[in-house]
Structure 1
């Protein structure tokens, strides 16, 4: 803002699915935004890669530019919205914007999960805001409650479905009996999955979001590389059917937990009881379940992706940052005072569901039970299905270190009486 002029000038980096909706909302809600902020909000530039690319919204003449670096370096830009994604050039542009006196609103989960501390430190040095509600779960307000509403509480666990593509796929496998490939193809046909779905189905997207959630919830720096990650490409129709037989459903979960003086963060498919609130999250929706000492259990639910929902979260941050700018203040920055270490996955206590094709003869059940006992893993339930060549044991363990469970499964695979370990999946929720 220039002296005597209380207009807030906004530059937008990117005009794709999210950026175009940000531009649209800035125009359509111009008067309301001015009333909510306390001053007019003026769009002064939109950086794009190609000026002639087709767009979902008409950008006012003269605002489009391919010079993103020049746009963020302008001394009359008060606030930069970054929605181009990826690591570079986004990181350099955000750092340049902060150095040149602009506050930043971003939806860039990958960058925050990889190098968030660098951005937070730059924002603190510049005395500017860095807000990022849209980086996790689209329109669902989850980061602000963790950072502000629960700031006086102690969060102990965050459990969430934070990727709509994988939830759609697993939901279709559950409701229709489809296999993974068939359900993935339907997701791609409907536009829920990219042509290259690796980031979603292999859990990279969810792991980045888990890192951000764990960092906020437990006041410690957690990066995507700290998060144990497994995707859903190995989940079979048989796994989903077995979960159904147990009264459960398979979901890709982001799980962040406070365990003593350490943080545990993991992303993997798991069976959860159909009575659990997350079990009812259908199709491409997201939900995050938060547990804290004083507030108890809270759940946040809604559309976790898409241009308009994500733009809604961006505009919410924009209003807050603009108000701070007018007031000459800034919001809360990074909170990493606890500096907790990340617990290795092998030490994290989990439960397993193991399906084993076995020879149907005397002593098999005892031998399988001994394999679990060898690694101090207690069995919760065991049932036998079929007879003869079709005999199968289904074992659900009590919680034990993940490394002990993995060693148990390896021992089972090496036993003469075991023809094949057909399914191994973690189990979350429910009573042990």
Structure 2
């Protein structure tokens, strides 16, 4: 610390005056302090509606609540009848999810959530909270023997509980007990579904339940592609079955890269009247997001043609947001892992530009949030509001980047039903 005197002696003043009288002070070269810049906020430059609850999401929640309500009231006959009617009529939600699936999920949601909560709390493996719910559903089947719909609900509950035990990690890091419990639940699900082989041939719901078994166990003498082909032919408008088949045909599961390519092209051919080239895209959709070799091998031109045909077939905003979030977020997550895959990823990811500029009119935050997690259905969401806020922030960041040239010129981008409008 320097001492600053309160006064200067009068005897020194003449000397000090002479010292500086004939000197020119050097110019001050210290750079000026830059004014504090406010952090960039996409909201200041973008105006786009946010659909916190779309029509499809509202309908989905209503159907799930319906299934949950009927279960809690022990109105199992009504639940079975409504599921069977929806399955026969191929009734779907606005986002394409089968209504029978939504009712079934609502019916088993209490049990699944209880098990997930118990496992998160690390309760003992023999705790009642891990077994009471599924045991209660098993008792229901004793009162409704031979009901295919209710049996499938219980089988799907076993599958979900199995996944809850296992988690989504690699086998090498999953504890032995967890793997064994998962296998036991999948085995029980298979035993439950086996007597309904005849009904399965004409029921998308039952066929989807059968195919769900493949993720946790092998069915003897079953060829995965053949089973999924039957399911897709029963419900060709449901892209989820195509996505699931593509994942299961990766070498890490039950297929090969050659079989994946063959089935993608076969699916595109069989569903051309509905999806155009989109069948190829749907089969590869999740597969190339999780497997570098599959990504490096995909036919980029065919895949992009499929993206455009999907938008032609399903131009609603939920689909636009799904494809845009896939290109801008989900597919970019694997960048840097493989040079060949990166080259392909970059080409596909660039399609977020025309998807957003030419087709987007609103943001669906939950879709973007799920994209950041790689559309992992088993991801735990502790706070739906924070989850949605994260998705909204990601979407705004991506859109602001696409319009960075306009924003850098001080222009504001407003999204209208007719598309984005740029103005001063």
What's the TM-score once normalised by structure 1's chain length?
A: 0.25
Which is greater in Rg?
2
Which has more strand, going by share of residues? Answer: 1
Which has more helix, going by share of residues? Answer: 2
What's the TM-score once normalised by structure 2's chain length?
A: 0.25
